[in-house]
Structure 1
Amino acid sequence: MNLGFRRLVMATVVSGLFSGMSSIAYADSTNDLVQALISKGVLTEEEGALLMKGRSNEVEVQKKKESKSWTSRVNIRGYVQNRVTKMIGDDGDDRANPVDLWSDRSVGTDESINSDKNFLIRRARIIIFGDFGDHLSYYIQPDFASSAGTTGNIAQLRDAYGDINIDKARVHRVRVGQSKVPYGFENLQSSSNRLAMDRVDALNSAVRDERDTGAFYYYTPENIQALFKEINDKGLKHSGNYGMLAAGFYNGQGANRSDVNDNYHFVARATYPWKTESGQIYEAGIQAYSGDYQPSTGAYRRTATTSVTAPGVFTKDSVTTTKGIKDERVGVSFIMYPQPFGIQAEWNWGTTPGLDVAQNRIEEKHLQGGYVQAMYKIDNFQFLDTNGTLIPFIKWQYFDGYNKAEQNAPKNEVNDWELGVEWQLAPEVEIMAEYHRMKRNNLVTGNRAGTQDYQSFTADAIRVQVQYNF
C-alpha cells in the first residue's frame, strides 16, 4: 500500500470516527488523535487541518447548547442539625417561673411549655442553587424542621431569590425575592457556619428569621470578592458575600409574612475586609435600617392570677395606630478572623415597639445590646482516623430591649455566657458542645395556667449539636 493511499484510508477512517463522536465529550481527544497522526507522519499538517476544519465551530455550538441545559445549572447541598439539651442545677425548676428559650425548643424544664426536652431536629435544610446564563443566579432553600404550634418538622420556605448580575464580573447585582436582610454580621452568617448554638437576641431581634421579601443592591469589587472567597476557603467562619456596600427595601414584617401597614423598611450596610502583611484578615462594618413595624397582640397574664386583654398599639403621641411604630437601628461590627486566635463583636442601638406592662400598651421604646466572642482555631486535630479542626470559644451577650416579632413585643433583658467547642472531624460532620449560662426573659405568652408571663429566669444547660453537611 503506497503512502498516499494509506493516508487516504486513514483520513477516511478518522473522519468517520469524528462524525460519530459527541463534540463536547471528545473535543480534546480528537484533537490529540489528529496531532498524533501528524507527528507520526501518517497525515500531513494540511490533511490534519482539513479533517479538523469546521470542528471548532461545532464544538463551540455544542458547548453553548449543553450550557443552556437546566441539568448543568442545578446544584444541591444541605445540612441537618440534631440537638439535645441537659439542664443542670435546680435553676428553673420552679413551676411558677418556667424556663423557655424562644430560639431552641430543646431548652427547658418539666415546667416549660414544651415539657418534652429530649432530641430535637433544629434545622434540616436543602439548598438548590446555580447560575443560568451570565446574568442570573438563583437560590432556593426550604427548611424541613420548622414548627407550627406543637407540631414540628414542617416544611417552610426560608429563601427564594434571584440575583440579577448586571455585569459578568458580578460587581453589581440586584437580589429580588425572600432573602436575608443585610443587617449584622452574625445575622448573615449561615447557621451551618456559626460557632454558638443561636444568634444573639440583640441583633437577631432586628429581623424575624433574619429574612424578608424585598429588593437589595450589592456592590462588591473584584478584589473584595477574592478576599471574601479566601476567608471562606480557609474555613474562617465568614458571613458570605453580601456586598461591600448594600442597600434595599423590604416589607418589614419578617420571613413568610405579608406586609400589614403599606410601609417599606429601608436598610443600608457597608463592610470592609482587609489583610495585613502578616496574613491576618480583619473586617469592620456598619449598618442601619428604618421603618414602621406593626406588632401582633393577644391576651396575657400580667400576674399569676391576673389576665389582661390584648394591649393597644400607640404612637409616641399616644394615638392608637394600625400602621406601626417606629422601628430603626444602627449597628457596628468587627471581626478578627481566627488565624488562629480570633475575635467577633457587634453592638447596636435603636428604637422599637415594646410592651409597657403597667399601662398595658405597646409603644415606642429604646434598646441596645450586642456580644463579644473570642475563639481559637486548631487545624489538623487528629483523633483515631480523623484529621479535622477544633475551635474552642467563649461568648458573652447582652440585651436591654424588646422582641418586636414575639406576641405583644415583650421586654427582653439578656445577660448570657457561653463556653463551648466545635469539632469539625470531617467536612461532612461537625460536633458542637457548650455550657450555656442563661439570664433572660421568658418570651412565651400563656406559658402555664397560674404563671405570670414574660418573667426573667436564670438557668444553666449543657447543649450538644451534631451537624451533617452534604
Structure 2
Amino acid sequence: MKKKVLSSLVCAMAAATGAPLEAAELDLYVDRKTKQIFAEPGPGRDKLGTFVQVEGPQAGAAPASATAAAAPALQTATAAGTASSTEQAQPAPAAPAPQAATQLAQMPVEKEKKWYDRIGLRGYIQMRYNQEIGGDAEDLQAPGDRFIGADQSMGIRRARLVLSGDINDHVSLYFQPDFASTPSGSSTSNFAQLRDAYADIYFDDKREYRLRVGQSKMPYGWENLQSSQNRLSPDRADALNSGLRDERDMGAVFYYTPQTARKRFAELTKLGLKGSGDYGVLGLGVYNGQGANRADRNDSLHVVAHATYPFKLANGQYVEAGVDAYSGRFVSSTSAVTLDGQTFTPQLEDAEGVRDQRVAAHFIWYPQPFGVQAEWTVGKGPQLDVEQQRIRSTTLKGGYIQAMYKLDGRYGSLMPYAKWQTYRGASKFDTNAPRMRVDETEAGVEWQPMEALEVLFAYSHMRRTDVSAAPYPLVDGDLLRLQLQVNY
C-alpha cells in the first residue's frame, strides 16, 4: 500500500514539474523529525528509495487534476511513511481539484485599454414651440430663444453630441458640437457649430487640481455653468448671460475641487436636483473676452475668478453659495444707426476696448423637495451713449430668483417652478451695444417620466428691449412655451 501511495506521489510531482511520466524515476527522502517527504537529499533526511511509475496515464502531459493533487498526496505519503511497519496505511482518498485553480483558469485576461476605449458618447435634443397669446408678443425678441417673435413658432433649440473621457490618468477630453446653430446673418438653421473643445490636465492622483485649456464655459454665473440639459427654465437670465456669449470663450482656467466637494457635485446631478456640475470650488483663469467662436480683437485678456461650495446639512439638505467676478476690455461691433433724428456710427471710448467688469453672487437651496435659486450681478460694461454718440463703460445691475418644488411619484418626476428676473444694462454682444431693459415673470412645470424624456410647459410675461435693430423699442407680451427634450 505504501508503494502505491508513493507511486501516486511520484506521478503527481512529475506532472507538477512538467517532466514526462513514462519511465520517470524519482528519489524520495523523509525528514527524521518532521516526517516530511523531499525530492532532494539533505541533513536529517533518510532515503526512502527510488520510485518508477508502473501504473496510471501513459506518456503525455498529466491532467490538471493530477497536478492539483500534488500537495494532498504529499501529506498522505508523509503520514504513511511514519506508520509502523506492521501497520498498513489506509488508502488516500482522491483529492478533488481545487475550485480556485479552476476559477483562475476561467478568468479572462483583461487587456490594457486604449485611449479611444475610454471615450464615452452622449447628448440631448431640445425641440421647442412658442405661441404668442397677448400684448405685442409678435414683436418680442430674446437673446436666449431665436424662435420667439413674428413668424416663429417651432424649432430645434439644441442638438448636442458630447464625446468625453480620460485619455490617461492625468488628461481628459471634452468635445461638444451643436447641430442646431444659426450663424449671424443667416436665415437657415441647424448648422453645426463648436461649443466645447478642451482638455483637463490633472496635477495630482486625487484629481483635485486641474487646468482646463480650450474653448469652454467661463466660470461666471452659476446658471451660466448649469447645462441647458439640466436647467429648469427655458432660458438663462439676461443679467448674468449678457456677460458671456454662449457662456463660453477660449481660455485657460485653473480649478481646485477637494474630493468631498467633487462627490457632492456628482450627487446633485445623480439625484436630479438641477446641479451645475463640477467647475471647482475655486477657479482662476484668463480668456479672450469676445465670446465663443470669435477671435480676440485687442490682444488683451479677460481675467475671471470663481468661488463656490456645496454644503450638506445634517438633515441631508444641499445648499450652495458663492461669488464670481471678471475684468477686461471688450471691443463692441459698430455700424451706422439712426436715433433721435440723427444718423451716426458710434465710436469706442477706447480703441483698445471699453472697460468690462462684473461681480456676481449666487445662492441655491436645492429642491429637496422645496428649492430656491437666486443670483445678482453689478458692474460696468460697454453701452451706447446716444448723446455722446459713442460706446462707453456704464453701470449695470440685475438678477433673478426662482422657486421650485420636486415631486417624485409613480409616473416620474414633476417639478413646478416660478421665476422672476430683471436687468438694466447693455447688450454688449449686439451691434452698437444698446441699453437693455428686462422685466420678466415665468411659471411652468417640468415632467420627466423617464430618464430619456423631459417635457416642459411654461407661461412667460415679457417686458424687454428689442436690441436687434434701432430704435430699440420696449416690447410687452405674453407667451406659451412648450419644450420636449430627449436625453441619450
1:226 deviation in Å?
1.2
SS of 2:421's partner is strand
SS of 1:120's partner is strand
Q: Partners in 1 of 2:61 and 2:121 — Cα distance?
A: 50
Q: Encode CA deviations 1:216-265: one digit per residue, 9 max, x unaligned.
A: 01000011111111111111000000000000011111100111001010
Q: Alignment identity in percent?
A: 47
State the match for 1:378 in structure 2. 407
Alpha-carbon distance change, 363 to 280 in structure 1, aligned in 2, over 3 angstroms: same
Q: Partners in 2 of 1:152 and 1:364 — Cα distance?
A: 34
Where in structure 2 are the equivalents of 1:176-325 lying within 5 Å?
176-302=213-339, 306=341, 308-314=343-349, 321-325=350-354
1:92 deviation in Å?
4.2
Q: Encode CA deviations 1:351-389: one digit per residue, 9 max, x unaligned.
A: 000011233211110000000000000012x4xxxx310
Bigger-Rg structure (1/2): 2
State the match for 1:41 in structure 2. 95
State the match for 1:389 in structure 2. 413
Q: Partners in 2 of 1:326 and 1:272 — Cα distance?
A: 29
Q: Partners in 2 of 1:378 and 1:44 — Cα distance?
A: 54
1:416 corresponds to 2:440: yes
1:108 corresponds to 2:149: yes
Alpha-carbon distance change, 239 to 52 in structure 1, aligned in 2, over 3 angstroms: closer
| Consecutive unaligned residues in structure 1, runs of 5 or more | 16-39, 110-115, 315-320, 446-451
The TM-score normalised by the length of structure 2 is 0.79
Q: Partners in 1 of 2:338 and 2:457 — Cα distance?
A: 35
Q: Partners in 1 of 2:240 and 2:141 — Cα distance?
A: 19
Alpha-carbon distance change, 243 to 14 in structure 1, aligned in 2, over 3 angstroms: farther
State the match for 2:382 in structure 1. 353
1:99 corresponds to 2:140: yes
Aligned residue pairs total: 408
Q: Encode CA deviations 1:65-94: one digit per residue, 9 max, x unaligned.
A: x32x2331110000011011110124246x
State the match for 2:5 in structure 1. none
SS of 1:151's partner is coil
Q: Partners in 1 of 2:145 and 2:66 — Cα distance?
A: 69
Q: Encode CA deviations 1:301-351: one digit per residue, 9 max, x unaligned.
A: 325xx562321111xxxxxx3210110011100000000000000001000
1:107 deviation in Å?
1.0
State the match for 1:118 in structure 2. 153
Pick the aligned partner of 1:127 from 162, 168, 173.
Answer: 162
State the match for 1:437 in structure 2. 461
Task: Identify the structure with bigger relative contact order (alpha carbons < 8 Å, sequence gap 6+).
Answer: 1
Q: Partners in 1 of 2:473 and 2:104 — Cα distance?
A: 80
SS of 2:430's partner is coil
Amino acid across the alignment from 1:130: G
State the match for 2:23 in structure 1. none
CA contact (8 A) 1:444 1:453 kept: no
Q: Encode CA deviations 1:141-168: one digit per residue, 9 max, x unaligned.
A: 0000000221210100000000001112
State the match for 1:75 in structure 2. 120
Q: Partners in 2 of 1:240 and 1:90 — Cα distance?
A: 38
1:11 corresponds to 2:64: yes
Amino acid across the alignment from 2:270: D
Q: Partners in 2 of 1:89 and 1:251 — Cα distance?
A: 41
SS of 2:323's partner is strand
Q: Partners in 1 of 2:188 and 2:116 — Cα distance?
A: 35
Alpha-carbon distance change, 14 to 133 in structure 1, aligned in 2, over 3 angstroms: farther
Q: Partners in 1 of 2:166 and 2:238 — Cα distance?
A: 35
SS of 2:189's partner is strand
State the match for 1:465 in structure 2. 483
State the match for 1:453 in structure 2. 471
SS of 2:63's partner is helix
Amino acid across the alignment from 2:355: K
| Consecutive unaligned residues in structure 2, runs of 5 or more | 1-7, 13-55, 69-93
CA RMSD of the aligned region, Å? 2.6
